[in-house]
Structure 1
Amino acid sequence: MKILRGAAILWTLFLFMHLGRPLSVLGGGDPAPVNRVRVVAAYPHDPQAFTQGLLYHEGHFFESTGKHGASSLRRVAPLTGQVLADRALPREFFGEGLALWQGRLIQLTWKNRVGLVYDLEDFSLVETFPLVGEGWGLTHDGTSLILSDGGAELSFLDPRSFRELRRLGVHDAGRPVRRLNELEFIRGEIWANVWLTDRIAIISPEDGRVRAWLDLAGLLPAERRSAKTAELNGIAYDAQGDRVFVTGKYWPLVFEIEIAE
């Protein structure tokens, strides 16, 4: 009888540990391939910008910078790095991810649990909305906003009400991929920088599986680094020109890259 009772307990634990998980995490399989990148071009970037979010629209970069007392929303000329427009956030706010939706810029804050919505043209504040948790990265797939909070899941939000529609667990070979940060939707896939690494995960928006990794180690040459230079952060996509741009916190350059075959 004790043996049967013990077996029942073990079976219950198995069901709890495995069947209670999202199906996407049970997939297993081989790890996603790791690809290197090739630099197509490099452009000046403000080395005082603690880049948290980056996007490209109609010939300009739009950038969200972080740090308390230094967070901002910017419009930047790509070829020169000149800041053409700048709106400072309140000192208590720490700027994070940034997305463009139907003529409005949507900016996250880190731990303030507030999202900010601006007019694209004059950066006037249109509205604010509550965030359930921390705000890290933000993009959209043409239908939903996609938000990261530093964990291994992405939240899909209604872009009008900001209500959460669903969550997507991100995994590679069945293992959760944590510290998902800056996001960009590129060619039907979600690109996510993984905080404190030199890697970008290319993620399926259907099942959350990492289809490939990009290894950007050494992208910023050692001679261009300073004592302040921090990790990779900032991914932007020019859909019309099919160009991908990346940068980092306090980096003096933005790089246009392509996947090396």
Structure 2
Amino acid sequence: MRNSIIWAAAVSVLVAGCGGGATPSETTTAEGPVPTITPEVLAEMPHDTTAWTQGLEFDGPRLYEGTGVAGASQVRELDPETGAVLRAAAAPNNYYGEGITVVGDRIWELTWQNKVAVEWDKNTMTPLREVPVNGEGWGLCADGDRLVRSDGSDRLFFHDPETFAETGSVAVTRDGDPLTNLNELECVDGQVWANVWTSDTIVRIDPGSGEVNTVVDASELAGNAGRDNQKVLNGIAHIDGDEYLITGKYWPKMYRVRIDAPSE
């Protein structure tokens, strides 16, 4: 479990229409749709509006962000209370950076269509090596003794955290239908949270079966960010318990939220 973050510097706020808890909006039955819930906003803080956010993750009290766009991609450490960029390093070879995840004293960063993953030294923020990836890289998270990768399709791919060798995959379905555009990922307690590209939703996936068991409707947060075809919801980082940090590409803010997801 990640450490709790002190948010004294954050401005506590309830965003209109987003408070009031996360009550399922659909009734769950054996054959019915999975529940859809809304996040409860606890606080907000600034976010760099030049950041094309691809990955967001806490490592204890440290907050890391990976940004995209070829020639402008960075791996960053952010101040979790103010959103300020504390350190930043450019992706090597003008790669188009994608999702990131922390594994011990290393950070793995995906690239979009360069078909490599970059391993970084977390402390010095310097790239150590590149390893081949079979396909595109979108989202990435660490699930125990394996990594989970998305590539924009309806599949999650599993990788060895030391070698990045692919070890398997699973097809993802929502209510029995394939769910594509799986993007930025966050692994929490054996479940995989995934942003769904170009939508205002985040889904929770059982990586064993590939079934979506919870949908988070973040449309009001996306609306507050100033909705357009660039400011897309993307970025979810687990804080502790049922609290998360959510942001998006070029969003002016990050939101600390409570997601009261149904237990499995």
Shorter-chain TM-score bucket reads: 0.7 to 0.9
- Indicate the residue corresponding to 1:168 in structure 2: 170
Identity of aligned residues (%): 39
- Indicate the residue corresponding to 2:11 in structure 1: none
2:255 maps to amino acid: F
Q: Per the alignment, in what secondary structure is the counterpart of residue 254 of structure 1? A: strand
**8 A contact 1:59–1:77 mirrored in 2:** no
Deviates more, 1:156-165 or 1:98-107: 156-165
Moved >6 Å (runs of 4+)? none
**8 A contact 1:66–1:95 mirrored in 2:** yes
1:91 to 1:250, Cα distance in 2 relative to 1, 3 A: farther
Task: Choose the corresponding residue for 1:57, options 56, 59, 66.
Answer: 59
2:226 maps to amino acid: R
Distance in 1 between the 2:98 and 2:72 partners? 12
How many residue pairs align between the two structures? 232
Task: Choose the corresponding residue for 2:105, options 97, 103, 106.
Answer: 103
- Indicate the residue corresponding to 2:74 in structure 1: 72
1:151 to 1:56, Cα distance in 2 relative to 1, 3 A: same
Whichever of the two has the greater Rg, that structure is 1
Distance in 2 between the 1:118 and 1:88 partners? 11
**8 A contact 2:222–2:232 mirrored in 1:** no
- Indicate the residue corresponding to 1:253 in structure 2: 253
Q: Per the alignment, in what secondary structure is the counterpart of residue 136 of structure 1? A: coil
- CA offset at residue 229 of structure 1? 4.9
Distance in 2 between the 1:91 and 1:157 partners? 23
- Indicate the residue corresponding to 1:231 in structure 2: 232
- Indicate the residue corresponding to 1:153 in structure 2: 155
- Map Cα deviations across residues 134-183 of structure 1 (whole Å, 9 max, x no partner): 00000011110000000000001111121111111110121111000000
Mapping for residues 1-261 of structure 1, pairs under 5 Å: 29-90=31-92, 92-222=94-224, 224-225=225-226, 229-239=230-240, 243-259=243-259
- Indicate the residue corresponding to 1:22 in structure 2: none
Q: Per the alignment, in what secondary structure is the counterpart of residue 219 of structure 1? A: helix
Q: TM-score, normalised by structure 1?
A: 0.84
Distance in 2 between the 1:36 and 1:230 partners? 19
Q: List alignment gaps of at least 5 residues for structure 1.
A: 1-27
Q: TM-score, normalised by structure 2?
A: 0.83
- CA offset at residue 48 of structure 1? 0.8
Distance in 1 between the 2:134 and 2:56 partners? 22
**8 A contact 2:242–2:259 mirrored in 1:** no
CA RMSD of aligned residues (A): 1.8
**8 A contact 1:54–1:64 mirrored in 2:** yes
- Map Cα deviations across residues 66-96 of structure 1 (whole Å, 9 max, x no partner): 0112110100001111111110124631110
1:236 maps to amino acid: A
**8 A contact 2:73–2:94 mirrored in 1:** no
Per residue, is there more helix in 1 or in 2?
Answer: 1
Distance in 2 between the 1:59 and 1:38 partners? 22
